[in-house]
Chain A
Amino acid sequence: MEIRLEETTTRVTIGPDGQVEIADAAYVVTRVSSGIYRVTSGDRRWTVAVAGPADARWVSVNGRVAVVDTTPATSARRRTKSGGHDSTAAPMPATVVKILVEPGATVAKGDTLLVLEAMKMELPIRAPRDGVVKSIACQAGQLVQPGVNLLEFE
């Protein structure tokens, strides 16, 4: 199995009865309760929490948290990350406070395009690259959901 965490891929060799090999080291994994695992390697031991779907699996150990992808690499490459490099989506559900550009406006990378507000905080949405604004897909006062582009580039 291959586990991807950002740019790094970890190869895991799975044996029987919870035995696992990573980078020539042998581990034994025991399930303690739902989502909680005890991992041992020689006299070293860790308690690890795991939850979530195969393509966004959350893992935590000693207060460190990561989200990893355990799906086969080919399907991972086919998936587009939310919005890709041209994303102008809200990072979380938020309310549109201000729209600072109009369709046809020429903007430089990093220019603030919109201001959102959520949980007492202002969140600027900045231009992901130099370009021309094609259309605006939201209105001031609107509650917007993450993953949906709030304006389009030409």
Chain B
Amino acid sequence: MISRVLIANRGEIALRIIRACRELGVETVAVYSDADQAAPHVLAADHAVRLGPAPPAESYLNIPALLDAARVSGADAVHPGYGFLSERARFARAVEEAGLIFVGPPADAIERMGSKIGARAIMQEAGVPVVPGEAPEDQSDASLAAAAERIGFPVLIKPSAGGGGIGMKVVRETAGLGDALQAARREALAAFGDGTIYVERLVERPRHVEIQVFADAHGHAVHLFERECSVQRRHQKTIEESPCPVLTPALREQMGAAAVAAARAAGYRNAGTVEFLLDGEGADARFYFLEMNTRLQVEHPVTECVVGVDLVHAQILVAGGAPLPWSQADLTQRGHAIECRIYAEDPAQAFLPQAGPLLLYREPQGPGIRVDSGVVEGGEVSVYYDPMLAKLIVWGETRERARARAIAALQEYPVLGIRTNIPFLLAILRHERFAEATIDTGFLDVNGADIAREAAEGGLPDAAFAAVSMHGTLGTMGTVGTPGTSGTVSPLDPFTTLTGWRG
């Protein structure tokens, strides 16, 4: 049994884990950088320990500092969340060697699945279909170009140690290879400390469909069905949903069985995700193993909504040695869930990440609406970390009802002070192709700029200007603010009245 968990993360996922622990009667230890001293996850935990300065390398990626924090706080387990150190075998091993429980897979399973080449070989061995690709030992441009020729253009080049879309480039002919390799190597080195490049055949217009798996230490392994994540911009997921609208029951069963086989072949334990490319639809569709994510996913809530489980809760139990709380026969899908990732980025300016104060931040509420967020009104969005502010997850009886609910909820989600992608998310949800569920992973690469432009068009109703003109002058429910109260101006003050009635 686990009694105190250190959460080696920040933002919404740290808060999500803290909630699950609290419900289980497990104490929590937050860690923070100097930029996060008063962050919501720090305030929510039972204990909090400073790691170091704001840059991730000195704080959330600093393994010695995290192990020290676990020691001084008396934690007996470490939950890595997603991102940061969650898929570093070295970290999982260091945690295990310090005599602590790592809430996740065994270090050697992370290692096996972390190497794209190794993972492929294991999957091929286990009979799971894979996409053609290789990471040549000789990593020179010439050797990588030869590999690309063997595999056949178009190719995708990506960091062998990577994840999250960082450093991935599409190359359509030999001529474009040099520049792409240079950029990919630099991004790979900066993000993962390893510049090894993997070259892979690009399957055109695939869907990204992933299967949630879960295994325990007692030989049980189940899948919790699929998540469709084809709405992605530059390989960064934007909207995820479950079920996948084009999966036939037979294919769902095949993919589920393949994912469980993959988990078993990897020697897996705890929550994981097996990502597949889905080529085609209906009975003719084929699927290929893409990679295994050896951690909790950002989009885990859509599975929780549709299957009716608490994955983080189960993670803590299974890490503590308990058997899986469900058998495969217990698990079914009900209704439809959609997750929208709220990013601090400006769709009108090439999705430039935004940093600054959250002057006003109000989350929508209502039946079937869940918001997992890591920010509060009055807080500051920093430049140092991922620009994802929150996730809006909605559930509906059907896909169409879930879509309508997501649109309504985003319209009741004011975020002021920094630009967000909310207008862009609304434009996607309203797009014909999303409504008819014909989206492949290239959808936003092709249509993203048009959708962003559309999202920026169409001005505000004059009612917005009416509210602006009254801002700071009204008391609650229309009572006039007291003149002289700091920051308020009475509409009856002569200056306002004079300029006001002039026009």
Contact = CB atoms under 8 A, between A and B. Distances in A.
Interface of A: 1, 3, 5, 8, 10-18, 20, 22-23, 25, 27-33, 35-37, 39, 41, 44, 46-52, 57-66, 68, 70, 72, 91-94, 117-123
B423 interface: yes
Contact of B501 (A13, A49, A123): A13
B477 A61 contact: no
A49 B375 CA distance: 18
B410 interface: yes
Contact of A119 (B353, B413, B492): B353
A120 B500 CA distance: 47
B185 interface: no
A67 to B, nearest CB: 9
Q: List the 7 closest pairs (A to B, CB-CB), nearest first.
A: A49-B414, A14-B500, A58-B416, A48-B467, A51-B359, A119-B353, A51-B360
Given A14-B469, A92-B353, A46 B461 contact: yes
B379 interface: no
B503 A47 contact: no
Nearest to B471: A50
B130 interface: no
A91 B352 contact: yes
Contacts of A5: 459-460
B462 interface: yes
Nearest to A26: B466
B415 A119 contact: no
B166 A61 contact: no
A119 B416 contact: no
B329 interface: no
Contacts of B353: 92, 118-119, 121
Contact of A27 (B383, B387, B463, B501): B463
Interface residues of B, number: 58
B360 A31 contact: no
Interface string B283-314: 00000000000000000000000000000000
B332 interface: no
B412 interface: yes
Indicate the member of A14, A27, A39 with the most B CB atoms within 10 Å.
A14
Contacts of B469: 1, 3, 12, 14, 20, 29, 70
B491 interface: yes
Contacts of A32: 476-477
Contact of B422 (A41, A44, A65): A65
B411 A62 contact: yes
Contacts of B415: 60, 65
Contacts of A94: 383
Contacts of A12: 465-466, 468-469, 500, 503
B173 interface: no
B500 A59 contact: no
B355 interface: yes
Indicate the member of A22, A27, A48 with the most B CB atoms within 10 Å.
A48
B474 interface: yes
A10 B352 CA distance: 29
A61 B359 contact: no
A46 B353 CA distance: 29
6 contacts: A16-B491, A35-B416, A41-B466, A63-B422, A65-B423, A92-B355
B465 A60 contact: no
Given A18-B491, A49-B416, A51-B360, 20 more contacts: A13-B500, A13-B503, A14-B470, A16-B492, A18-B474, A20-B466, A29-B478, A32-B477, A37-B474, A47-B412, A51-B416, A51-B417, A59-B467, A61-B464, A61-B467, A63-B410, A91-B349, A91-B352, A94-B383, A120-B191
Given A61-B463, A92-B352, A93-B383, A1 B496 contact: yes
A35 B480 contact: no
Contact of B464 (A28, A35, A48, A118): A48
A52 B491 contact: no
Contacts of A49: 360, 362, 414, 416
A17 B466 contact: no
A30 B492 contact: no
Given A13-B500, A51-B417, A65-B416, A23 B462 contact: yes
B369 to A, nearest CB: 15
B499 interface: yes
Contact of A14 (B354, B459, B491): B491
A23 B480 CA distance: 24
Contacts of B470: 14, 18, 20, 29, 31, 37
B124 interface: no
Contacts of B419: 65
Contacts of B460: 5, 59, 61, 64, 66
Contact of A35 (B354, B360, B420, B496): B360
Interface in B386-423: 386-387, 410-417, 419-420, 422-423
A132 to B, nearest CB: 27
A31 B478 contact: yes
B499 A1 contact: yes
B172 to A, nearest CB: 20
Contacts of A64: 423, 458-460, 464
Contacts of B438: none
B18 interface: no
B475 interface: yes
A119 B477 CA distance: 41
B423 A57 contact: no
Contacts of A62: 411
B191 A11 contact: no
Nearest to B353: A119
